Chain A
């Protein structure tokens, strides 16, 4: 009896964590897998305008999407949007983080101000910026005009390119605080003795920056960049609020495009196809990252 009991308890021990995990595994499985499967299914189905599922229609939805010039333009926009917003906000966020790490009078207040754009709802900021840049009744024109900087009102959003540039600008503005705080927390964990050692070795400001600060910041920067790529790629409110992808669907990213397809044009099947494409792109990015991480981990070992 005793001999039998021992392996059984051991077995239970080994099983125990899984028993505890079971509810969440179950929940996640149902909550994640079901929507994904349903989107995949929808993307291979013909959905009528009123929402009736007319059954499997092969890759028709995908062909429609790929033959659509707007899709390719949107894809290009999405890449530009992600790279520009994540890239520039990371660079600016690092600079701001370095500045805020220095001791100066009123630093706490400045740090609090930096949080504001992050703490305000995206949609509110987008609406505010939409009205600031409006050419006819926007604050920007009124201000510049009253200051005498411009002689007559400037149309800031005359072309799709200008629209998109403004949207990128707003995107950068709202992303900077997050990078700044990641950088700040990273900076605070750097041991000051490293700087003392660098000083003893006669390192210049740039040496300290590139050989001590930045390498040690890498972990926090990686975290902020990965998070930002996901957030920015999937960001919806800024573009939808400011331009809704117009003029002529030239300022869409994948997320706003699929929203418009689904809810304005009532093309649910095609929208699901775009959604699947976006999912695959992000999944590819994530797996590249995972492979790199695993490889690095192996090398360490």
Chain B
């Protein structure tokens, strides 16, 4: 028996060692990463200015476009050594915050949201590196949407617009001839689809998951007349309209009109279901229907007030105090943006990824020339009609209040509110009151 206990103790030790091995490996890996990064930062010598750029992965072929961009840019600017890294949306926030912690922040970053970086005084003002030409091209509302107290901190890289998608075949079979325009009509349409198609079709797609539940909050609250901010720009999360909106979401779930797991279903399986014809209606981005789908659909304004959700991601520039030649760095950054926002190159990227341009010259250009450019990863070309339609919708869109310092807390807060209320553990009024108190308190 004694030998058994000894063995047991030895085994426990072994367990502990194994655990530690894993930790050790993880640390080793991260050290290697940090070292190689440091090597990146130190490299590119020979009088060249090196710029590290992080770009978010918008599609499966993002890398290819930026590889070409890197080549073209370096050919045109031989004093700049450009390093472009594509990072997936799943990791980008943790990647960036890890780099900031180790003082290895990129020079240029493409991400969504910048207020936290401004709060830590990490960013350069957009005016300092934007050429007059680029500034004049950017659609004014986009330029201003990146301002905090009058100072612009980032440039818009692209835009997209969310609207209501309806499968017209499923609706007309259920006796609904036109897409719903009011929230009551949505309920009627859902009931009709449910009565006609039963379990085989989900009437209404809803995503209040951790991934993007704030989008749902925006669709409903804005179109019930509420929203995140009041007229004077202060948080107004517990307004009567917002309460109604959240109660409406609960009603959709309780009536059995939605997909069964709105708490964990992200937008992507819903989009797949819509493209496959098993989901009748959902709110989504303009490029949500898959290219090979045969569904006969219409994209219309979101019911109620008809306010769409505009999504506009940003490009921002980090300060780097340790760089000796600040002027050369700023010049390189300015050259980068001049090169990127070049009408044809920028338009090519918009067609490639299927998003809407944030510059006025590209909007005009794409309204008739989209066919000259290719969609990423295929031989298909752009569709001018598509750009014409959706660029026209953009002005009706509202954007997340991303320049507000507490936006990330509000974003996570409204998702929590939706989930709690729809679970029935708390009333909409109470949940929103709590959120408002915790944000403004």
Q: Which A residues contact B (CB, under 8 angstroms)?
A: 27-28, 31-32, 34-35, 47-53, 134-137, 145, 152-153, 155, 157-160, 163, 219, 222-223, 226-227, 230, 242-250, 260, 262-266, 268, 286, 289-290, 293, 296-297, 300-301
Contact = CB atoms under 8 A, between A and B. Distances in A.
Contacts of A260: 210
Contacts of A53: 101
A47 B6 CA distance: 44
Contacts of A246: 209-210, 263-264, 419
Nearest to A134: B261
B19 A160 contact: no
Interface string B17-47: 1011001100110000000000000000000
Contacts of B23: 31-32, 35
Q: Which of B2, B23, B210, B419 has the most CB of A within 10 A?
A: B210
B111 to A, nearest CB: 10
Interface in B67-100: 93-94, 96-100
B119 A34 contact: no
A293 B93 contact: no
A284 to B, nearest CB: 15
B117 interface: yes
B7 interface: yes
B24 A32 contact: yes
Q: Decide if the interface of chain B is mainly helix, strand, loop or mixed.
A: helix
Given A134-B260, A246-B263, A297-B9, 5 more contacts: A47-B101, A158-B260, A247-B419, A248-B263, A248-B416
Interface string B104-125: 0000000000001101101000
Interface of B: 1-2, 4-9, 11-12, 15-17, 19-20, 23-24, 27-28, 93-94, 96-101, 116-117, 119-120, 122, 198-199, 202, 209-210, 259-261, 263-264, 269, 273, 278, 408, 412, 416, 419-420, 422-423, 425
Contacts of B198: 152
Given A48-B116, A247-B419, A153 B210 contact: no
B25 to A, nearest CB: 8
Nearest to B407: A49
A46 to B, nearest CB: 12
B27 A31 contact: yes
B31 to A, nearest CB: 10
Contact of A266 (B17, B19, B97, B209): B97
B11 A135 contact: no
25 contacts: A32-B20, A35-B27, A48-B119, A49-B119, A50-B97, A50-B122, A51-B98, A51-B99, A52-B120, A136-B261, A219-B4, A223-B11, A226-B12, A244-B264, A245-B210, A246-B419, A247-B263, A248-B425, A264-B412, A265-B412, A266-B97, A296-B5, A297-B6, A300-B2, A300-B5
A52 B8 CA distance: 44
B260 A266 contact: no
Given A134-B261, A293-B9, A50 B100 contact: yes
A262 to B, nearest CB: 8
B295 to A, nearest CB: 16
Contacts of B5: 293, 296-297, 300
B12 A136 contact: no
A109 B288 CA distance: 46
Nearest to B16: A286
Nearest to A28: B20
Contact of A31 (B1, B20, B202, B408): B20
A268 B412 CA distance: 15
A49 B408 contact: yes
Nearest to B121: A52
Q: Which of B97, B98, B416, B425 has the most CB of A within 10 A?
A: B97
Contact of A264 (B19, B210, B419): B210
A193 B49 CA distance: 80
B420 A248 contact: yes
Given A136-B259, A223-B11, A249 B416 contact: yes
B116 A266 contact: yes
B96 A51 contact: yes
Nearest to A50: B116
Contacts of A227: 15
Nearest to B198: A152
B264 A48 contact: no
B101 A263 contact: no
